[in-house]
Amino acid sequence: MQSNVLVFAKRSLNLSKIMAGLGLGLAALGIFVIFALSLLAGSSSAAVFFLPVSFMSLGLLIFTMPVTLLYVYDKNNGVLEYLLSLGWNQSDVFKQYLKAALFLAVIFFTGEGVAILVAGAISGSMGVFLLDLLVLFLTAFLGFSVVSLVAMAMMAFSSLQKQRVGANSPLGTAIGVPFIFPIFYLSFIGFIPELIVVLSLCVLAGALSGSLLLLSSRLIRREKMLP
């Protein structure tokens, strides 16, 4: 089934190239900010180094969002029913879409990670390099947790697959926003308090995504995959 992951990933990007492009744009903005902060480290507070985490985590989430949109699209068009008729069980279907989302996330984060490491290296400061490594760790922790949480919640709860009034995306796409948006406004409270808040958001998102994964066999029912 490994090849299926690639197929799902490719189909999702073809389904919503705009969202993929928006995710790339946000990540590019975050990378620009981290380069600017690394070069101007002497005149900026350490707390502002968390700002790129929000841009790059949100970019990571939006870039992988087409996978959850593909799940809803395939469900409404009978593709999931067809996969079940081929002998797949609901766990197989669930895992393939989740793996596709994480596969895109890994590819996307690899580019972000290389850029962050380059920014830290050219700064010429060990302190800045360590801050950039912290940004890398927090982006990975928060980004992958939120991507997993949104993907699993969207597939587990049919109510989250309903389209919002006046929007082209389902309700579940907004789940990850409360975990990322607060970071945009925390740069003024100080390094240690902000670090505590960001780590708390990471742990909460990770705990929720882990809980949904453990409960997936109960939440992902066969009848929920039918049109």
Higher pLDDT, 140 or 177: 140
- Structure confidence at residue 102 (pLDDT): 92
> 78 falls in which pLDDT band (50, 70, 90)?
confident
> 227 falls in which pLDDT band (50, 70, 90)?
low
For the chain, what is the mean pLDDT?
A: 80
d(CA 173, CA 62): 9
Domain boundaries, the chain: 2-225
Of the candidate ranges 63-67, 102-106, 118-122, the one whose mean pLDDT is the lowest: 118-122
- Return the percentage of the chain with pLDDT > 90, whole number: 7
**pLDDT tens digits along 156-203:** 776 566 665 444 556 666 777 788 877 777 766 777 887 888 888 888
